Amino acid sequence: MIDLSVNLAGIKLKNPTILASGIMGVSASSLKFVEENGAGAVTIKSIGPTDRTGHKNPTVLAFDNRMVNAVGLSNPGVDTEVHIVKEAHERLNVPLIVSIFADTIDNFAVVADKLLETHPKIIELNLSCPNTDNEFGKMFALDADDTRKVITLVKKVTQGTDIKIFTKLTPEEEDFAELGKVVEDAGADGITTINTIFSMNIDIYSRKPILSNAYGGISGPAIKPVGIESVYTLYETVSIPIIGMGGILTGEDAIEYIMAGATAVGIGSGVYYRGIDIFQKVTSEIEDFMKKEGYKSIEEMRGIAHNS
């Protein structure tokens, strides 16, 4: 009997696939639709302290092996989102992860506090969005002290609850392994990595960047090797669970992340490339591989690349 379930910081997932923040996670109905298509958990699009319209179009570019976006964290603000998250909590049968962002360290705590009544399983701290530097300044995940302060404040807010805190990191931090230690020492229950990576595309005829924001974040298959290396590095550094993501389209992609050390895997751009049923497809492909190779559980594969 193949066991596809995983234990993510004490939270049981029926399979290791998770809808990443930003894709399909804008309403209770869309999250439910993703659940019905096989996801083991779902993440709602990042929620901030106030309403944000995001950047002007064009904000998304799609290529054969990558996507580039500069949506700009558009959302209606936490006071409105609370009602959406509540509805999602009531309708979902899989764990709900709530991604949050803020313009200041203190506002992370404000957003988290307002979301307590929605009972998310995990609050994911988005400290690493690559396309809002011109508004928020340097991303929080590039400063170890800021990262520590955000985690500490949010942990105080959630004290006495069973809500787990995950921190979303970028591989662009020079000492990524050390940042992982900072996150663990600050009390985070897990790490999500990687976020999209800084990028730019230029229209050679208009002689200017294509995206309205100029800079964007690249995702999709092109960044998978970076994601694998990041998870591999963190697994050797921290003992808290890792959600690995970046370019996962197939079961084999997911297995690479798991063998590098990920407990679960996030899928975002893959929905564009393989359709909404990518979660079912990836899970089925993982199961087929496990049967063929004689693995009985996901845990048997986790981190096995470190034993070679």
- 268 labeled binding residue: yes
Residue 132's pLDDT band (cuts 50, 70, 90) = very low
Catalytic machinery residues: 129
- 57 labeled binding residue: no
**Is 219:67 a contact under the CB 8 Å cutoff?**
yes
pLDDT value at position 138?
Answer: 55
pLDDT value at position 130?
Answer: 52
Across the range 173-193, mean pLDDT stands at 94
Residue 126's pLDDT band (cuts 50, 70, 90) = very high
- 21 labeled binding residue: yes
Q: How far is CA 43 from CA 18, 68, 117, 160, 166, in A?
A: 7, 20, 17, 23, 12
- 220 labeled binding residue: yes
Kindly list the structural domains of the chain, giving each domain's residue range(s) and its CATH number in brackets, ordered by start: 6-50+71-196+220-307 (3.20.20.70)
pLDDT value at position 53?
Answer: 65
pLDDT greater than 50 at residue 119: yes
- 45 labeled binding residue: yes
pLDDT value at position 134?
Answer: 44
- 70 labeled binding residue: yes
pLDDT greater than 80 at residue 141: no
DSSP class per residue in the chain = --B--EEETTEEESSSEEEPTTSSTTSHHHHHHHHHTT-SEEEEEEE-SS-B--PPSP-EEE-SS-EEE-----B--HHHHHHHHHHHHHH-SS-EEEEE--SSHHHHHHHHHHHGGG--SEEEEE---TT-HHHH-S-GGG-HHHHHHHHHHHHHHHTTS--EEEEE--TTSTTHHHHHHHHHHTT-SEEEE---EEE--EETTTTEESSTTS-EEEESGGGHHHHHHHHHHHHTT--S-EEEESS--SHHHHHHHHHHT-SEEEESTHHHHH-TTHHHHHHHHHHHHHHHHT--BHHHHTTGGGG-
What is the residue-averaged pLDDT of the chain? 91
pLDDT greater than 60 at residue 137: no
The pair phi, psi for residue 95, each rounded to 5°, is: -60, 140
pLDDT value at position 23?
Answer: 79
- 180 labeled binding residue: no
pLDDT value at position 26?
Answer: 84
Neighbours of 62 (CB within 10 A): 12
pLDDT value at position 129?
Answer: 63
pLDDT greater than 60 at residue 131: no
- 195 labeled binding residue: yes
Tell me the sheet residues that pair with 190.
166
Residue 51's pLDDT band (cuts 50, 70, 90) = confident
pLDDT greater than 90 at residue 133: no
Across the range 5-18, mean pLDDT stands at 99
- 112 labeled binding residue: no
- 246 labeled binding residue: yes
